[in-house]
Structure 1
């Protein structure tokens, strides 16, 4: 039984079969992850990669999984080739129809935490992107392009708490989701915060500690709280215009 048959392309399956399969994969996941996540590197990485194929929807070739990596709801995850997951990385999908899709040669440094929820589109990370230590991604419709650098302690949240009804507690009003897009070849400095509904254009650089609350044009350099564009990467802009990329 392959978990991929019960993930994104499961519309042809009967609901009760999908529910049973999900519970089975969660059971396997709940047994194998605690047993294997602390087996020492490098033998442990090989063993985890081999065993986790039983419950991850897609797990590519030459994937490195260090100690302490945790999967929750991995039957809704696709992991590309040569992906590196450092210690204490945590990947979670909350409920059905939430996905995490990771491209080839993506690197997660220590303590990266990714949680997919909201059921409106996957969290997608493009090829060769690096996510720095203790960075958090949460929500849905969250896309990070190829060749991006996301430095440590950054926060990318494609969701907000609803708080319009002051007669009810905020934690009872649910969430809203608009989505985030970070295009290819962007660099986010340490401690950057990206809020829901934002698009960061290709080749942009966001200074350390910035809070991004609105769209950043391609090849921009932005800093501050809220982030403001202070300059453009002129040579790259001219080349992109000539080639028709922007």
Structure 2
């Protein structure tokens, strides 16, 4: 056990050393190529044609898998620490825009499937498992939170009452508008549209259009044409 802890600390130090020195090398000085090449030694997996801009922070890189053609822009923080069974997986063609935070926390699996776009300043946080499907569009300032604090006992501090962690599933081809919040235990069905500012507290059936706080389904899609909403509701 002591040997395992020692080698674990050495591994973490190597990860920190490489990400610290390479993380801020500007693109103009070959930073993207250096990161793509040398990060292979410390990540669980990195595919080909990966673009990692300078100013991206990775923690516990041995928990992070990155597919082919993934783009990760400045200010992103991807944190796999907390448990040896954590896994964060970015499939082929995923785009992570600026200032996104992805955190696994504890015994957590976060999967973002191929060709999904994560907009600026999105937060995706465990410790519940999170699955985001293929070809999804997640707009800026969206929050996807796979945990919930217990607070039933008014005599005890909320932070000491523990949490629940049911997990979140966002199926393929979903569009979440600006500032949407998705709470723990929710499944958003395939092909659904969630309007800007909505708070999703319950499951959304496939091919639905939902808006409001809490989010409610107001229209369905027929599989061929998208039912039109006002542009301010889903942009």
Q: TM-score, normalised by structure 1?
A: 0.86
Report the Cα offset of residue 78 of structure 1. 0.9
**1:60: which partner in 2?**
47
Report the Cα offset of residue 236 of structure 1. 4.2
| Counterparts of 1:94 and 1:211, CA distance in 2 | 28
Unmatched tracts of structure 1, length 5 or more: 1-14, 238-246
Q: Quick check: 1:92 aligned with 2:79?
A: yes
Q: Quick check: 1:46 aligned with 2:33?
A: yes
| Counterparts of 1:125 and 1:65, CA distance in 2 | 17
| Counterparts of 2:61 and 2:163, CA distance in 1 | 23
**Equivalent runs, 1:124-163 vs 2, <5 Å:** 124-139=111-126, 140-163=128-151
| Counterparts of 2:60 and 2:150, CA distance in 1 | 26
| Counterparts of 1:20 and 1:56, CA distance in 2 | 19
Residue by residue, what CA displacement relative to the aligned partner does 1:68-101 show, whole Å, maximum 9, x if unpaired? 1000011111111111000011100132212111
Whether contact under 8 Å (2:207, 2:223) holds in the other structure is: no
- Secondary structure, aligned partner of 1:68: coil
Report the Cα offset of residue 37 of structure 1. 1.3
**1:7: which partner in 2?**
none
Q: TM-score, normalised by structure 2?
A: 0.90
Unmatched tracts of structure 2, length 5 or more: 226-235
CA 1:64–1:182 in structure 2 vs 1: closer, same or farther (change >3 Å)? same
**2:232: which partner in 1?**
none
Choose the corresponding residue for 1:37, options 16, 20, 23: 23
CA 1:235–1:95 in structure 2 vs 1: closer, same or farther (change >3 Å)? closer
**Equivalent runs, 1:51-200 vs 2, <5 Å:** 51-96=38-83, 97-119=85-107, 121-139=108-126, 140-200=128-188
- Secondary structure, aligned partner of 1:235: coil
